[in-house]
Structure 1
Amino acid sequence: MTKPVTVHVPLGDRAYDVRIGAGLIAEAGALIAPLLRRPRVAIVTDETVAGLHLLPLQEALKAAGIASEALVLPAGEATKSWPHLTRTVEWLLEQKVERADIVVALGGGVIGDLVGFAAAILRRGVRFVQIPTTLLAQVDSSVGGKTGINSPHGKNLIGAFHQPTLVLADIAVLDTLSPRDFLAGYGEVAKYGLLGDADFFGWLEENGPKLRDDLALRQHAVAHSVAMKAGIVVRDETEQGERALLNLGHTFGHALESATGYSDRLLHGEGVAIGCALAFDLSARMGLCSQEAPSRVLAHLRQMGMPARLSDIPGLLPDDDDLIARMGQDKKVVDGRLRFVLARGIGESFVSDDVTPDLLHAVLRDARI
């Protein structure tokens, strides 16, 4: 068994630790107890995760003398919506959650984002602990304080910055993920190498296929990704500059998620993977990087068995004009101009609004083949 590692996120009086290791759910009671003013927590999870991890979590809390109640929501992206946010907030109020209490988000990115937003607005802010149960949530959405829900107009357009008090990333629970869900999370892992660490991307080219079966490699991938994100968040918490780089692949990916109805036709991490491939293709066409860079991205995604092009998405997609219009709802739009995270090479990303419609059309057209 690997020894847990800790990544500290130094944000002054809102600083917190991200613990990464196998078996952390079994230790959750002992780890959460020092944070509590009274021995009770409210847990919000989804139906899939509840069947796998809720009882072990509640038993760990009980062993530490902590009482708990749980709200179990439907699984899936559709839960990141106003109706389920309202249900969650009203349930937390029914549980008489006070500002000094702790709410626990047990689940993937959907639960983490929804529960974090509920915690942000409940009594003008209560503390919450993230226990992410997917690879995507462990390396991305559970760290950094971005919380929110989706709108028919686009993804994550309603939300708040609200940092967790603690993150417990139990890498052993990732064994319960389907191969597809594991790989969807890997899309965010690869993103970190592509946006700012060429050596890490090289490490992934060698070790990516082994992460599913090797806990030590998996822990390194998660910890390195978290450390990269934590560093960026500390330098730019509310996305005024550098933090936008974390959205590599997301302008394309969010538009594709919207176009597929936030359904299981395309998972978020799959959209990010395709978006990264498109961003590097676009960068090469603009003369920003060599053709070798998008070729490496595409080859690695293929090596991992991940979707990399529009043609890999099942079913019909809207035309290019529709997809570009959906990109116009992206949060990075400034003064009506689309902004993309582009690259001068592997690990060398930057934000630009200097993308011509003709190039964008050409990238999307060729990705359909």
Structure 2
Amino acid sequence: MYTNQVIEEIARDAYGRVLSYLIVNWRDLQAVEDAIGDAFLAALETWPKAGVPDKPEAWLVTAARRKLIDRARRNRVSESALPTIVAMSEDTQRLTSSSTAFPDERLRMMFLCTHPAIDPVMRTPLMLQSVLGIDAARIASAFITKPSTMSQRLTRIKASIRAERLIFEMPDEEEIPDRLDSVLETIYAAYGSGWDDRGSLAEEAIYLGKLLLRFAPREPEIYGLLALMLHCEARRKARHDEEGNYVPLSEQDCTRWDIDLTMEAESYLHAASRAGRIGRFQLMAAIQSVHAHRSSSGRTHWEAIAQLYEGLIRMHPGVGAWVGRAAAVAEAYEPESGIVLLEAIPPAEVVNYQPYWALAGHLYKRTNRVEDALSAYSRAIGLSVDVSVRQFLSRQASEIEVRH
């Protein structure tokens, strides 16, 4: 039983690295995924008897590589593929026998997933599943859609890749800026997906952001994304009090924010501003920077945040920006102004968007629209995954019921 748990942990931790390492050599997504699946089955059969190997990732690569070679032989692989097989064999032997750290090819794999033939809408979900090992249900939550719908879309895109015999190639240097946004979106979505867990996925997202910065050091949006993630990460411990109760950002104790992470975030944002090319991640980071300044000024400059959201909406409109602007306007001016903006958002966009209903409940409560507030809180509670958030919203709703 213990060995099975170890294999599960390795699967969560190593899947993306193993897949990415094999893909950059083999370039057939479906074949590699099948081979890795067979490798993990072999591990489940072998490791309980022989013990977990010292280098489990190299062991899995070796097992998967054998499956790929067997498949190539059955399909009478062409002579042109033989050098790849030989190179993979040599690399695997080197990884197994030396002290070399397992190479992290996930960044390259992300760029491979931005191939022009892949539907732009599906590039980020494909990266999240294939490179970072996030399941379809969590991806669906990030994209505010049903898990079954997301699963079907991912299955279709992989079938399309297989049917079109799409070969994964790295983009040329001049192509990278055009394909960068999908990679940034994936790293940000991974960070958001890891926000409510123990932080391991969030840490991986920050690591990949820093890896990306070394890869393309002149792209200001990478700096902006890192600033955004680090500002959010600096406040992780303050999101809950000593008893584990959820604490919204505006009520958090600033002394619990990580000053080192905040300063690091500010340095990235300053570096981004020097490029003179503003982007959505820089604007989102700037919003978090204004929140961070409460620790020194003692107040939140909501007017500045509202203005930044206006810029974000012009550049990259979306439900998150619309809701954020409504919240900022309500705080900067009056709750009724925020409600007007909130109610102007197309209903289809917010059916399953928890922040919308949480904010609606809050603003309706402030304006004594009791029934609307209770209804909105009920929707928000039902859409909340985090138990502490559900409890917080339940307390807010209870205050209305007690008062009336």
**Same topology, TM > 0.5:** no
Which structure has the larger Rg over C-alpha atoms?
Answer: 2
Instruction: Give the structure, 1 or 2, with the largest relative contact order (CA under 8 Å, sep 6 or more).
Output: 1
So what's the TM-score if we normalise by structure 1? 0.28
So what's the TM-score if we normalise by structure 2? 0.26
Please state which structure has a larger fraction of its residues in strand: 1
Please state which structure has a larger fraction of its residues in helix: 2
